[in-house]
A and B are shown apart, each in its own frame.
Chain A
Amino acid sequence: MAETLAIQAKAISKTFHISEDSHNTVKHRLFNLFNPPRMKKVEALKTMDFDVFKGECVGLLGRNGCGKSTLVRLLAGVYPTDTGTINIYGNTLLMNLGVGMSHQLTARENIYVSASVLGLKIKEIDKIFDEIVEFAELKEFVDTKIKYFSSGMVARLGFSIAVNAGADIMFLDEIFAVGDMKFQEKAVKVFESSWIQGKTVILVSHGMETIRRYCNRAAFMKNGSLVYFGDTETAIQMYVDDNHE
């Protein structure tokens, strides 16, 4: 099978400069011209290279704070890299407890805006609109601003938009933590059906069962380094061993 690239990362790294004093006004900068802010360097991601191919489902494992979310944001094009290049072939969707939604807008407006950002045309959104509302179980609240929604309702709406609109490359960061048990069952069901077919998925999860079931390759990260990228079972084993250290 000739494999087409979906994401190509070459020598990427990311360091966050966290300043202890807030020098984010002109006044502060002028008054402290000769007293530069103390910067703390946090090496979130150490240099790494890898390729992800179209149609793959890749699992991302690692303990809290190992750089999974940073990596996912870099790959989704939300954060710029410090070094190296990332080539993304397609539009991306990053999902962690929902997708980007404005609390000033109604559910209807958010559906149209989000789906449009994900690359759908208005006519296509019209077609899937009812499905989105139905799946999110928000029929009576379509024209309510989401700032009046409970957090569960917002999360359900985000999940439903993502499921029905989708994107070429999807980064799913702990998505099965959304909603109550009934909704979670629905989420798993939809995940197993046709949602991710033909799409490139990077799945971040602590649930090893989930990774084992859906991913054909997996990566294991530790302290900002990509320790292993390949066979799913090996990655899971490394993660388990790391947790028992």
Chain B
Amino acid sequence: MIIGILTDWFRRSNKSERLWLLAKIEFKLRYYENKLGLLWALIKPLMDIAIYYVVFQTIMKQNVPAFASYLFIGLILWNFFVESTTGTVQILYAKKYLYEYSNMNKLEIYVSTLLSNAIGFFFNFIMFLLFYNLLEKGSTGSTLYTLWIVPLFVNMYILSLAIALILSNIYIIAKDITQIWMVFTSFLFFLSPIFYKLDTFKAALPSFDYLNPLAGIIINARKATMEGANPDFKLFLFDFAYSIFFLMMGMLLLNKLGSKAAEKL
């Protein structure tokens, strides 16, 4: 079904153009509307890193080597996930104008919004590479293994798309999903190895890296970008399977509930 949709998208060639157009406009709306502009997208993760660095390295003395970079890669992946899920709960309401007057496929709205977040991630990742290679003291330098970030990010994109679909379609029938999801994300934040030492995380929550797909993606991204190693393939496959499963659920909800969005919202 998904492949069918994708081929349909690209056969009618204006669809890819449209996705890119919508993504660009979305990106511009988000960053060019405030005074700091695009700079804010880059400053925010740096400020977060500074805070967690002080808490976990200076005060709690975790002694993770290259901790700032360790935080950096974890946080930018996490931020992409949060922006793409929390930020899209009301997407069917906010972007009603796109599907209220035509038979445009609603999935395109999600794909383009996440594409705009992906542009933000891309800039952040460049910052990370610069930071890791030029400023980080404990750096061993980037290697070709860094390229593994591409399939890992694809995994993250599908996962975020899936959760965005699920949440925003539930929003049609239950408006307080926004609050529930906010609580859940802060829980998930502490259950992902973003600022803990990996060994502490694994010792306290055994097998949890297999239960929480975000944890798996972050662990593998660090292996690829910082340790110069292959990702843990078993974990990688697990996370992909999770994403596909959630995506199927999301598509099901989009067909069941999303089709009524125009009349219910």
Q: Which residues of B contact A95 (CB under 8 A)?
A: 101
CB < 8 Å neighbour of A99 from B101, B174, B180: B101
Shortest Cβ distance from B171 into A: residue: A24
Interface residues of B in 74-129 (CB under 8 A from A): 95-104
The interface stretch among A119-127, A186-194, A211-219 is A119-127
Q: Which of A55-63, A100-108, A200-208, A223-231 lies on the face that meets chain B?
A: A100-108
Q: How many residues of A contact B (CB 8 A)?
A: 35
Contact B175 A118 (CB under 8 A): no
The 8 Å CB contact of A76, one of B102, B176, B177, is B102
8 A Cβ contacts from B165-185 to A = 173-177, 180
Chain B residues near A73 (CB-CB < 8 A): 262
Q: Is the CB of A104 within 8 A of B260?
A: no
Q: In the assembly, what is the distance between CA of A5 and CA of B237, in Å?
A: 47
Q: Report yes or no: A113 in contact with B177, Cβ–Cβ below 8 A.
A: no
Question: Which residues of chain A are within 8 angstroms of B25 by Cβ–Cβ distance?
Answer: 105, 109, 112-113
Residue B130 at the A interface, CB < 8 A? no
Contact flag A79-B262 (CB < 8 Å), given A25-B174, A26-B174, A113-B25: yes
Report the nearest A residue to B180, measured CB to CB.
Answer: A26
Whether B21 lies near A113 (C-beta < 8 A) is: yes
Q: Does B186 contact A (CB under 8 A)?
A: no
B259 CB contacts on chain A under 8 angstroms:
80
| Secondary structure of the A contact surface, majority rule | loop
- CB of A44 to closest CB in B, whole Å: 10
Which of chain B's residues 1-28 have a Cβ closer than 8 Å to chain A? Answer: 12-14, 17-18, 21-22, 25
A91 at the interface (CB under 8 A from B): yes
Contact partners of B96 in chain A: CB under 8 A: 100
> A169: nearest residue on chain B (CB-CB)?
B103
User: What are the residues of chain A within 8 A of B262 when measuring CB–CB?
Assistant: 73, 78-79
Check B176–A78 contact: CB distance below 8 A: no
Given contacts A122-B21, A167-B102, is CB(A102)–CB(B14) below 8 Å?
Answer: no
A16 at the interface (CB under 8 A from B): yes
Within 8 A of A (CB), among B211-265: 259-260, 262-263
8 Å CB contacts to B: which residues of A79-95? 79-80, 88, 91-95
Indicate if A152 sits at the interface (CB-CB under 8 A): no
Inter-subunit contact B176/A27 (CB<8 Å): yes
Closest to B96 in A: A100
Asked if B29 CB lies within 8 Å of chain A CBs, one says: yes
Contact assessment for B100 and A77 in the assembled complex, using a CB-CB cutoff below 8 Å: no
Beta-carbon contact of B98 and A117 below 8 Å = yes
Task: Collect the chain B residues with CB atoms within 8 Å of residue A92's CB.
Answer: 102-103
- Asked if A29 is an interface residue, CB under 8 A from chain B, the answer is yes
CA distance A233 to B102 in the complex (A): 30
Q: Which of B95, B102, B173, B260 has the most CB of A within 10 A?
A: B102
Taking a contact as CB atoms under 8 Å apart, the answer to whether A116 and B21 are in contact is yes
Which of B17, B98, B101, B174 has the most CB atoms of chain A within a 10 A radius of its CB? B101
Contacts of B95 in A (CB 8 A): 102
Q: Which of A30-81 touch B at CB < 8 Å?
A: 73, 76-80
Q: Are A26 and B103 in contact (CB under 8 A)?
A: no
